[in-house]
Structure formats: structure tokens, C-alpha cells
Amino acid sequence: MKKIKLIIFLISLIIPLKVFALIEVDITRGNLNPLPIAVSAIYSDKETTDALKKEIKVDQIGNEISIVIENNLRATGLFNPLEKKAFLQKPDVAHLKPRFEDWSLIKAQALITGKVEFKDEKVRVEFRLWDVLAAREILALAFTTVPNNWRRIGHIISDKIYERLTGEKGYFDTRIIYVSEEGPKTKRIKKLAIMDQDGFNIKYLTLGNELVLTPRFNPTNQMVTYLSYFKNLPRVYLLDIETGIQEVVGDFPGMTFAPRFSPDGKKIIMSFAKDGNSDIYTMDLENRIVERITNHPSIDTSPSYSPDGKFITFNSDRSGYQQIYVMKSDGSRVKRISFGNGLYGTPVWSPRGDLIAFTKLHKGKFYIGVMRTDGSGERLLTENYYQEAPSWSPNGRVLIFYRETKSNSDGEGFSAKLWSIDLTGYNERQVITETDASDPSWSSLLSN
Amino acid sequence: MPQNLLLSFLFHVSIIAIAIVSFPFIAKKPIDIPPIVSVELIQIADQTNIPFAPKAEKIIEKVKKEKEKLVSDQAPPKKVKKEKPDAIPLPDQEIEKIKKIEKDKQNPKIEDNKAKQVSEFEKKELFDPNNIAALIDKSKENFAETNIKNDEITQSDDESMKLSGLTLNEEDALKAQIFGCWSIPLGLPYNENLLVRIKLKLKPDGTVIQSEILDHARMNKPGQGFYKVLAESALRAVKLCQPLRVPTTGYEKWKDLQLNFDAREMLEG
């Protein structure tokens, strides 16, 4: 009996069955066009509009917040905010229940609606993000703050939308510290300045009496370390943004420069130059203990920690030409990672940890580029007459740097401006500042 | 022992029989012989002895005359007077006209009388909506027949469909359409395993009846934000693209379709 069953089983295996296999199609390409998004004006009733107009002198607060969001999203190069004139539905109705057919008619794939209220001296802004094609809400949040913070609310909403639609954290609720420059090239007045990432709310932190360079935020964005020439001696300083108190970092018998905080904010890493030799040192901010990290007769400078604090990248001319190196945070296992033609400098480890940004000088031109942490996959993102000092956005997608223009022998025609570029290399934009600007440094997200 | 031998024999015979049935290439195909048509060979003399049919001559002449009559009786086209713009009826006149028409419609007796007056011959010429409906039905049948015929896979299609179910041209057309609709979220990491598989149920015209992410559970797991974003973008692409550019034939084969969205190639640059 068993044998018969076995025979039947074998026969059933042999008899072919007419079943269609599921057809699979691999989609490996898509378009890189920015996502069409409709940012409807944030609705505010007449009472709220009038009250806020009196309070903070802003007409149409809802519309202004929506413009902040729109500009942020456009600047990423990943979104295409649609023209508001094409919108068929009013903001208040759209916020309650959008007519998705109307929004898909204007080719919007995502829709942002919102409502602003003014109660008990506070502004409450709620917003909703809708997937137009799926005809459903995919995010809804509300924020309450003092009226003067209305721009920040716009940035926080932008961050939430960016994160929901791209999967990575945003970078809009951030600040940029930089060196503001004024006057002729030969007699520049340089001040420390801080602003929102979109160029608004500029504040000057120093008066311009001393030359300042390379400001860098600490991880909590409350402290800044920078280089200042005091009595013609360049020293690394520490400045508390809230209190305005500043102090010299360490008592070094020579020049200290290129400072940067460790990822935990407990140490400052910098270069110390003496007798023509420059090495990398760290100083613990709690106990002020100084530690020597490199010990080489060459110039080692521009140190930058990896996000986990285990490695340090820096540039050195120990091979005869300035190149980029990586070592463990105690100074051991030094390894050269850049081998291309030209000189490499100002390496900065990405907050994601996967890339190192750098400045490259080759055949009289300056490039901003990125490479993997082992030196592979070098990509030059932008080329110009003079540009340097890249600094990463907190999500590791965008770099900010400064670019100088050529001037004649009298220094005329000279300018220094801030620029940003994303990792694709296509989305390059000038960051508008009141004055000329250099040495930018991006803060981490102010709100998480 | 003889029982085992018998079982073995039966097994082998059945295997050989199944092999012959299952694997047609083993058996030689019989040569297709067309059906035999019998032909009688008749010798024909130079002059036939078949008498001339006088009735046939009359019929032929009658038909010729009728044809000539039809041509000559054709009336010249009527000269239609051009209506002046002033001739647009006033609203009152229009209402009267409408009333008149309504009266006519509400008097079915008159229509019955008219119908009785016509001859049997003329009846056939009258407009009969049932006939039109029948014609439409017939045309539907014809269309269905042609569709069935088209659904049969041709030899050339069959060869390429053995592998993927779609010909290369069909697959390329579908891919090209979806490439245009899929906005890849550029913030995604290129070094993660981000493959989104979507199973679709399609209508014959390519409209999506149902779309299902095969690894749906992964979307709501913590730390899978990138996967969720990619999956949503893929769903958007499908919705934006529909109706999909599917082949006009072989619906049974592609009515269930799986799209595998993989952005790594694009994100790596």
C-alpha cells in the first residue's frame, strides 16, 4: 500500500500543472525630481491675526509661517512647493478635510495645512501633513510658544515634515555661527555672528576689536570655541552664548588654533604650534588636563572627532604634501586616507559617521569634496577660485562653506560669502548674510 | 517476489507512459495531413450540348432594368434654406412648440394608425430600435470573439513569455512608465537593505484594484523609518502611474504583478 502511495506521489510530481508564476518587475530607477508639495497658508481667524499684528507687528502670521516652511523645503532641493495661486481650496476648509481631487489636479503629492491661535499670550500652531495620492493624513502635531518664536515654529514644522517624507532628521531648527567681515580687504573688521540657518535673526557676539577665526559650537549649542588674536597672540577661546563670558582655553606657551569640541562636549581638541612644529592636543574642560595626541615633526592640524568619539581625522604634511589622516582618539594607528593629486585640508567627520568632508587644492583651484572614512569614494562636489572650511548640517546631508571672489591689487572686487551644497552636488545655494561672511559652523538641532 | 516484480513493472510502464504524455518533444509529432479532397476529372467537349435557358435571360434583363431605375430615380439633394439668425424662436414660441411635441407624444393612437398604413415592404425599412440593439449586441459578440482570438498567445510571444511572462518590450514599457512616476526620496541611505516589494491586482486596462506591500510589518517596526518612506514613495508611484502600461493580451498572466522597488543604484550615484 505504501509503495502504491509512493508511486502516486512520484507520478503527481511528474505531471505538469498549468499554473502561472507571479510576474516580477524590478524597478531600479526613478526620477530625482523634487516632490511636488502644496503648502497651504496656515489659517488664522481675524481675531488672532489682529492680536498678533499688535503684539509682534507681523501681518498675516499664518501666511508668514507657511512661507518659512515653503522656503525651507525648497532650499533642500528635495521638494517643489507649488504656487499658492493654483490652490483651489481655502486654508480653513483644507485643514478640516481636503478635497484630494483638487490637490491632485495641481499635481501635488503632499499637502500641508494648519491653524494658528492666540490664547493666554501664547501662540498655538497645529499642522497636518496629507498624502494626496493615498488620500490620508500622515502626520499631525501642535506647538505652543511665545509669539516672538513664530519663525522657530515654522522651522520645527519643516523638520517634522522633512523627517516624515525623507526618513532622515531635518536641519531647519538650527543656527549657524560665522565670522562677519566688513571693510576693505587689507583692513577687515571681523566679528563673531550667529543666525538662524535661513539667514534670519542675526546677532553679533563680539565687537570686532580683535580678529576672530574658526568658531565652533559645542554639542548643546550653548558654548562656542574660536580663535582670537588678543595682543597679536592667537589663542583658543571659549564663549558662553547666554552669558557672554569668554575665557582662554589652557595656558599654552605658544599659538593655539583650529579648535573643535569632542562629541560629548567635555574636551576641546586643537593644534598647538611651537618652534615651527604643530601637533594636536586635547584639553579636558572639567579638570583642564592637557593631553598630547600627535607627536611628529610635521604640521598636524584641523582635527575633527568621529561622531562616536573613537577616531580623529586631521591633516598633516608628514608625507611631504598636505594630506588627510585618520587615527584612534588616543593618537595610535595613524593612517593616511587621501592619495589623490593636490593638497587636502580641513577634514570634518560627518554626523552620520560615513563620510569625511574636505577642501582640496589642485592646479590653482579649490574644491569641496567628500570621501569615505577609509579614503575611498572621493567625490568633488564644487569647484571655485577660492573656497574652504566645510561644516556639516546635523543630518549629514548638506555642507556649508565660504567662497571668496578674486580682487585686484588694491583689494577691490573682493567678497566672501557663505554657500551650501548637498551631497548630490547639484543643489548649491548662497546663504544670504547682512555682511560678508566666512568660517561658518552649523549647530546641532535646537529641538529634538 | 513476483508481487514486487509486478509493481516494478507497473511503475516503469507508468513512468514511460507519463513521460510520453508529459514531454511532447519525446514523441514524434505526426505529420499534418490535410483532409483529402476528391476531384472528378471530366472531359469537356469543345461544344456543349446543354440547351440555353430562356428563363435566365429574362431574369438577367429584369435585374439590369431595376438597376438602371435605381440610378435614374435618385433625387438630387434638397436645397436647404439657410436660417436667418432672426429666425430663432422667441421663448413663447418655443414653449408652444414643446407643447405640440408633447401632445404628439401623448397620442399613441395616431402612431398606431401610421404603422398600420405602411406596407410589409416598407415596414422593413422603418427604424427599429430593437434591430439596432441586436446589431450592437452582435458587434459586441464580434468584439468579444476578436478579443478571445487576440488573447491567444502567438508563437513569438510564447517564446519570450516562457521566462518572465512579459516580453522584453512590454516589461521595458512598464518600467519606463514607473521610472517617470517614482520620485526617489534622496535622503535614504544607499548601504541599507531597502527593497520594497509591492503585489498588485490589476484590471485588464492596467488600473490597480489592490496594492499590497509584501513586507508590511516592517513599516511599523522601530528604526525602519527609511523603509517606510521608500514604501510610501513606491505606493505613490503606483497610484500616480495608473493605469499601468500593461500588454493588451495575456491578462490571466499579468493580472497579479509584483513590483520590486530598489533605489540603491540611484542613491549610490
The pLDDT tens digits of the residues spanning B214-260 come to: 988 888 888 888 888 899 999 999 999 989 999 888 888 899 999 99
**Domains of chain A, with CATH numbers?**
35-166 (3.40.50.10070), 175-442 (2.120.10.30)
What pLDDT score does A14 carry? Answer: 57
Angle at B105 between CA B101 and CA B109, to 5 degrees: 135
A22-26, A255-259, A345-349, B60-64: least confidently modelled range: B60-64
Q: Do B188 and A163 touch (CB under 8 A)?
A: no
B255 has a chain A CB within 8 A of its CB: no
In three-state secondary structure terms, A120 is: coil
What pLDDT score does A57 carry? Answer: 84
Q: What is the mean pLDDT of residues B142-164?
A: 44
A151-165, A201-215, A427-441, B71-85: least confidently modelled range: B71-85
State the nearest Cα–Cα gap between B252 and chain A, in angstroms: 8
What pLDDT score does B115 carry? Answer: 41
Residues of A in contact with B234 (CB under 8 A): 27
Neighbours of A225 (CB within 10 A): 23
Residue B206 contacts residue A58 (beta carbons within 8 Å) = no
Residues of A in contact with B180 (CB under 8 A): 31
Residues of B in contact with A397 (CB under 8 A): 187
d(CA B261, CA B229): 12
Nearest by CB to residue A167, choosing from B7, B188, B258, is: B188
Q: pLDDT per residue over B173-227, tens digit each?
A: 999 999 999 988 877 776 677 889 999 999 999 999 999 999 888 888 888 888 8
Residues of A in contact with B178 (CB under 8 A): 27, 30
Q: Do A27 and B182 touch (CB under 8 A)?
A: yes
Checking if the pLDDT of A72 tops 70, the result is yes
Structurally, at CATH architecture level, domain B164-268 sits in 2-Layer Sandwich (3.30)
State the nearest Cα–Cα gap between A353 and chain B, in angstroms: 12
Q: Do B228 and A167 touch (CB under 8 A)?
A: yes
pTM: 0.72
Q: pLDDT per residue over B18-35, tens digit each?
A: 877 776 555 555 555 555
Nearest by CB to residue B266, choosing from A20, A30, A78, is: A30
Give me the percent of chain A exceeding a pLDDT of 90: 74
Nearest by CB to residue A23, choosing from B166, B239, B266, is: B166
Q: pLDDT per residue over A357-413, tens digit each?
A: 999 999 999 999 999 999 999 999 999 999 999 999 999 999 999 999 988 777 677
C-alpha closest to that of A435 among A224, A239, A165, A195: A195
B contact residues 98-117, partner A, Cβ 8 Å cutoff: none
Q: What is the mean pLDDT of residues A12-22?
A: 61
d(CA A412, CA A429): 24
Residues on A contacting B at a C-beta cutoff of 8 Å: 3-4, 7, 10-11, 14-16, 20-35, 78, 109, 131, 133-134, 138, 163-168, 354, 379, 395, 397, 424
Record the cell numbers describing residue A156, joined without a space: 520645527
Record the cell numbers describing residue A271, joined without a space: 593644534
Residues of B in contact with A28 (CB under 8 A): 262-266
C-alpha closest to that of A280 among A254, A259, A265: A259
State the nearest Cα–Cα gap between B166 and chain A, in angstroms: 8
What pLDDT score does B45 carry? Answer: 46
B257 has a chain A CB within 8 A of its CB: yes
Residue A196 contacts residue A420 (beta carbons within 8 Å) = no
Residues of B in contact with A35 (CB under 8 A): 183, 185
Checking if the pLDDT of B152 tops 50, the result is no
**Cis upstream peptide for B243 (omega within 30°):** yes
d(CA A94, CA A97): 5
Say which residue the cell 551650501 belongs to. A420
Q: Which residues contact A198 (CB under 8 A, 6 or more apart)?
A: A68, A71, A72, A75, A155, A172
CA A55, A57, A59, A64 dihedral sign is: negative
Q: Do B171 and A131 touch (CB under 8 A)?
A: no
Checking if the pLDDT of B102 tops 80, the result is no
Residues of A in contact with B256 (CB under 8 A): 22-23
What pLDDT score does A21 carry? Answer: 79
The mean pLDDT value of chain B amounts to: 67
Residues of A in contact with B260 (CB under 8 A): 24-27
d(CA A111, CA A130): 5
What pLDDT score does B204 carry? Answer: 92
Q: What is the mean pLDDT of residues A331-354?
A: 95
Q: Do A25 and B188 touch (CB under 8 A)?
A: no
Nearest by CB to residue B164, choosing from A15, A23, A354, is: A23
Checking if the pLDDT of A129 tops 80, the result is yes
B252 has a chain A CB within 8 A of its CB: yes
Q: What is the mean pLDDT of residues A145-153?
A: 93
Q: Do B266 and A16 touch (CB under 8 A)?
A: no
Q: Do A29 and B179 touch (CB under 8 A)?
A: yes
The mean pLDDT value of chain A amounts to: 91
Give me the percent of chain A exceeding a pLDDT of 70: 96
Checking if the pLDDT of B16 tops 50, the result is yes
d(CA A180, CA A225): 16
d(CA A372, CA A358): 11
Checking if the pLDDT of B155 tops 60, the result is no
Q: pLDDT per residue over A181-234, tens digit each?
A: 998 887 889 999 999 999 999 999 998 888 899 999 999 999 999 999 877 788
d(CA A89, CA A91): 6
Nearest by CB to residue B183, choosing from A11, A26, A30, is: A30
State the nearest Cα–Cα gap between A107 and chain B, in angstroms: 9
C-alpha closest to that of A285 among A270, A307, A305, A304: A270
Q: What is the largest CA-CA distance in chain B?
A: 111
Give me the percent of chain B exceeding a pLDDT of 90: 20
Nearest by CB to residue B180, choosing from A31, A34, A163, is: A31
What pLDDT score does A110 carry? Answer: 95
Checking if the pLDDT of B59 tops 80, the result is no
Checking if the pLDDT of B141 tops 80, the result is no
Q: Do B171 and A22 touch (CB under 8 A)?
A: no
Q: Do B257 and A11 touch (CB under 8 A)?
A: no
Checking if the pLDDT of B69 tops 70, the result is no
B1 confidence band (pLDDT: 50, 70, 90)? low
d(CA B121, CA A26): 66
